[in-house]
Amino acid sequence: MHPDNFNQIVHEWYDPLYRFALSLCRNPDEALDLTQSAFHKLAGNAKSIKDGTKVKSWLFTVTYREFLDQYRKSQRFPSTSLDLVAEPRQKNQKTPGSSVDAAEMMTVLSAMDEKFRAPLSLFYIESFSYKEIAEVLEIPIGTVMSRLRRGKDRLRQQLEAGAANQASEPIPFRKEANNG
């Protein structure tokens, strides 16, 4: 692969690949590592890719496989960090069916099971086709469609449940001082 072609591929696919990696691992540093690893492997295996139209699929597949490898390792050898402290969530007065904040959507999406998160991220964030998702995740197209449907349903339920919980919170009672 010519260096100019490699630079063009990196320029074209870096951001989408990083967003996909971030949607999988939910950690910016790990997402950067996954993205860098994919491009590193591309640089080493460029000659094995004969069809230039397959670079996109190849990069996303490598990133997904690398994520799975890291995920499996973390399950076998769990580690905890005291730096990861949950930030208090701001209360929004939303009702079910109202518009959803993108940050809230990403929070709910990132809390979902990986088997639903990956297809949803590829479909909605990266605009992949069913066929491309099936190739990247190495699952049948029917499974992709099923996971997208069930994932969307779960996403909707979580968002509505969150909005309902926020809307049904009691209003604090404030006792006024007697000035007289």
Convert the pLDDT of each residue in 163-180 to its tens digit. Answer: 656 554 444 544 455 554
The 10s digit of each residue's pLDDT in 12-54 is: 999 999 999 999 988 999 999 999 999 999 888 877 777 777 8
Q: Is the dihedral of CA 19, 22, 27, 31 positive or negative?
A: negative
* 15 Rama sector, left if φ>0, alpha if ψ -120 to 50, beta otherwise: alpha
Q: Is residue 122 part of a domain?
A: yes
Residue 104 belongs to what domain range?
91-170
| Residue 163 falls inside a structural domain | yes
Residues 64 and 121 in one domain: no
Task: Determine what percent of the chain is predicted with pLDDT higher than 70.
Answer: 75
Question: 114 vs 162, which has greater pLDDT?
Answer: 114
Asked whether residue 15 falls in the same domain as residue 46, the answer is yes
Cα diameter, the chain: 87
Question: Can you give the pLDDT at residue 96?
Answer: 47
Q: Is residue 29 part of a domain?
A: yes
Helix (H, G, I), strand (E, B) or coil at 84: coil
pLDDT band at 83 (very low <50, low <70, confident <90, very high): low
Question: 90 in helix, strand or coil?
Answer: coil
Question: What proportion of the chain, given as a percentage, has pLDDT over 90?
Answer: 39
Q: How many residues does the chain have?
A: 180
pLDDT higher than threshold 80 for residue 128:
yes
178 lies in a domain? no
Judge whether 119 lies within some domain: yes
Confidence of residue 81 (pLDDT cuts 50, 70, 90): low
